[in-house]
């Protein structure tokens, strides 16, 4: 098998269990694919270059939060407003894990506002 085939067939998704005692659950947070991450950032950047956190938070949590027992996504896009009504510190906790294992960095978020996306190596 060629290096290309090994790379393209590998499962490189990172997963981390996150206990949320306030909700009485443990969820699995998974890393985002490159295309999902780029789409999220592109959708969140406003015309002036600022990042719209009202778009980033719920979309990030929807895309990365899974049930560790079934492997199914916990939330759907219809849950956006309900997610934003939850405790901000819990959302921060989930977002921190998701951005960390998906390769986001402060530099990447800043660059997205300037029309390009770079990641921390």
**pLDDT digit string (tens) for 44-54?**
888 787 888 88
Please indicate, yes or no, if residue 21 is contained in any of the structural domains: yes
Of the pLDDT bands very low, low, confident and very high (cuts 50, 70, 90), residue 79 is: very high
Please indicate, yes or no, if residue 55 is contained in any of the structural domains: yes
Task: Give the model's pLDDT for residue 9.
Answer: 95
DSSP per residue over 30-80, as a string?
EPPPHHHHHHHHHHHB-TTS-B-HHHHHHHHHHHHEE-TTT--BS--GGGH
CA 56 from chain centre, in angstroms, equals 8
Query: CA angle 40-45-49, nearest 5°?
Result: 155
Report the CATH number that the domain containing residue 19 is assigned in CATH: 3.30.2220.20
Worst-scoring range by mean pLDDT, 21-25, 81-85, 113-117? 113-117
Span 45-69, mean pLDDT? 88
Going by C-alpha positions, the residue among 37, 16, 40, 61 that lies closest to residue 120 is 37
Q: For the chain, what is the domain count?
A: 1
Name residue, tokens 């490159």: 34
Please indicate, yes or no, if residue 83 is contained in any of the structural domains: yes
Please indicate, yes or no, if residue 22 is contained in any of the structural domains: yes
Expressed as residue numbers, the domain containing 33 is 12-112
Q: Global pTM?
A: 0.79
**pLDDT exceeds cutoff 70 at 116:** no
Calpha distance 109→51 (Å, rounded): 8
For residue 93, give every residue at least 6 positions away whose Cβ sits within 8 Å of its Cβ, in sequence order, or none.
18, 20
3 state DSSP class of 109: helix
**Residue 93, strand partner residues:** none
């Amino acid at each position: 098998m060629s290096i290309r085939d090994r790379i393209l067939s590998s499962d490189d998704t990172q997963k981390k269990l996150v206990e949320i005692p306030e909700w009485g659950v443990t969820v699995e947070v998974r890393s985002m694919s490159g295309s999902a991450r780029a789409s999220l950032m592109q959708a969140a950047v406003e015309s002036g270059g600022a990042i719209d956190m009202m778009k980033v938070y719920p979309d990030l949590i929807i895309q990365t939060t899974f049930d560790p027992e079934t492997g199914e996504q916990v939330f759907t896009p219809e849950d956006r407003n309900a997610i934003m009504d939850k405790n901000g510190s819990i959302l921060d906790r989930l977002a921190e894990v998701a951005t960390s294992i998906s390769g986001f960095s402060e530099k990447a978020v800043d660059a997205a506002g300037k029309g390009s996306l770079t990641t921390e190596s």
